[in-house]
Chains A and B, each alone.
Chain A
C-alpha cells in the first residue's frame, strides 16, 4: 500500500487533491483507493490534512495515515524539516516553495516546486494543488499522469479542466526535467 498525506490550510485544495489522486487510481488505473480529509469542522486558513491510500487490493484499514510514503505540502509554512518520524524510509516530501529546496538526508528526499507561480501563470489563481499532483506523478511512477488527467476531466467543472490539465503537465515536465 502507498500512503500519501496532503498538508495545507483550509481552502487550498488539499482534499480535492487527495480525492483526485484516489479517483485516478481507482477509476483509471485499476487499483483500489481511499481518500479522506481531516475530520471535523471546516475552517478556512486552519491547518488541514488530506489522506490518500492506494493499493492493488481492497483497503480495509480506514484509520488515519501515521507514517506516509509521500508528504505533500501545499503551504511551506506547515513544513517542519526536522521532523522525519512521520515518513517511511526513502519517502519523499514535496513542497510548494519559491526558494527551490532540494535536499536529501535521513533517507528522506525533499523536492521543491514553485507551484504557486505555475498556478498563477496558468490558472491566474494561487491554487497549487493540481501542480503538486503533476509533481507527485513525476517523482512516483505508481501514479500515471494520464490517469490524473482523466480524473481532473471527470471531477472538475468543464470551464476549469483545460487550464488544470495544462498546469498538471507543466509541473510534471518541470520536475522531470530537473530529475534528468
Chain B
C-alpha cells in the first residue's frame, strides 16, 4: 500500500532513491543537499536499503565511483550541490560521454564568490552543455516521482544518458509537505532491474571508456546528441506510463497553466512556478489573461513546446535565477531561440531574479506580468531586466 508522509524535498529524494533500489551510492555531503545523503546512509545502516554506500572524499570521487559501478551494471545514485557540482564538472562530461545512466540529485545553490549557501540556478545551468539530461522539480512529490522516472529514462537503451534532477535549495529541499510514498511492488513493476548489454564483462570483453581520434570522435559526439534528442519521446512515454500506474502525470517536457488564451505567458523553472501559478489565478480574477509555462526539462530542450507558445500579440517572459555574465540568462537564450525559429514577432523579455537566495515575491511576479502586458505597446525596450536590483543598472 502507498502511504502519505510529511517530508522535505530532500527526504522525498531519499525515498525515491530507496524505492529505485540502487546497488551503489557514493556521495559527499554539502548544504543544502546533506539530508539526502544522511537519510540514505541511515537506510543502508538500518538494512532497509540493500546498497553499497561509499562516503568518498570529494564530489569528483563520488561521480568517478558511480561511473565505475555503472560500468559493471550497477544502478547508481549520488547527490550534490553548487560548489560540489562544479567540482565534479570534469566527471559530468566523462559520465555522459561514457553513456553511464547515473541518476544524480542537485540542490540548486549559488556559486562563489561571494560565497553563499542560498539558492539559485547558476550551478546546474552553467553545466547545460555537459551532456546530461536536466530536469527541474516544483515540489517534493514530483521530486520523489522524478527519481523513479529518471532511472527508466536514463537506462532506456535508446537514451543511456545520465540524469540530473534539480531541486531549488531550501525553497524545495528544506520545505516539508505531504508526499505519497508509492508501494515498493508497484515501483518494481514500473522500474525493472537495470539491464544494459554494454557492461564490463570478462566473458564478453569490450572497450569501455576509451580514447578516440579525429577519425571517429565526431560520430561518438553526434550519437550522444541524438540519444538526448531521442530522450524527448522516452520522457513523454515514461510520464504517461507513470501516470497510468501511479495516478500522477506532469506533462512531459513542460507543464503549462492557463496558456491557451493568454495575452502574456511567463516561462520559468523550479519551485517559483508555484508562486507564479498563484499570481496567474489572481490576475485572471482581474480580467488579465496571464499564463505560465513551467520548463521541466532543460535538456533535452522542449523546442516544439516553446514554439507552440508563440502567438500573435502575445508577449512572453522568461524568469530565471541565472545570468550568463556579459549576455543574458541561459534559459532566456534557449527559449528565445526556439521562439525566433518559430517566427515569433512579439516581445520576449528576460527577468533575472532570486540570485543568491533573494526571494521572488507575488508582487515581483505581478510586476513582471504588468511589464509583459505593457511590452507590446513599447518599442526598443531593453529585454533583460533584473528583479529588485539594488544598484544602478548598466548603461542607465
Contact = CB atoms under 8 A, between A and B. Distances in A.
B386 interface: no
B175 A34 contact: yes
B225 to A, nearest CB: 35
A19 B5 CA distance: 12
A178 interface: no
A39 B275 contact: no
Given A22-B6, A34-B176, A61 B117 contact: no
Interface in B189-231: none
Contact of A33 (B5, B119, B177, B360): B177
B334 interface: no
A64 B69 CA distance: 42
A41 interface: yes
Contacts, number: 70
Highest count of chain A CB atoms <10 Å: which of B5, B6, B272, B274? B6
B99 interface: no
Contacts of B275: 60-63
Contacts of B118: 39-40
A39 B175 CA distance: 10
B277 interface: yes
Contacts of B4: 26-27
A40 B357 CA distance: 9
B359 A64 contact: yes
B178 A63 contact: no
A32 B178 contact: yes
A22 B6 CA distance: 8
Given A60-B274, A64-B359, A39 B6 contact: no
Highest count of chain A CB atoms <10 Å: which of B119, B273, B357, B359? B359
A36 B175 contact: yes
A33 B178 contact: yes
A61 B357 CA distance: 16
Highest count of chain B CB atoms <10 Å: which of A22, A36, A37, A59? A36
Interface string A17-59: 0010011001100001111110111000000000000000001
Contact of B170 (A33, A39, A60): A39
Contacts of A32: 177-178
A60 B275 CA distance: 6
Contacts of B361: 63, 66
B174 interface: yes
B274 A27 contact: no
Contacts of A19: 6, 176
Contacts of B178: 26-27, 32-33
5 smallest A-B Cβ distances: which pairs?
A: A60-B274, A39-B170, A26-B178, A23-B6, A36-B175
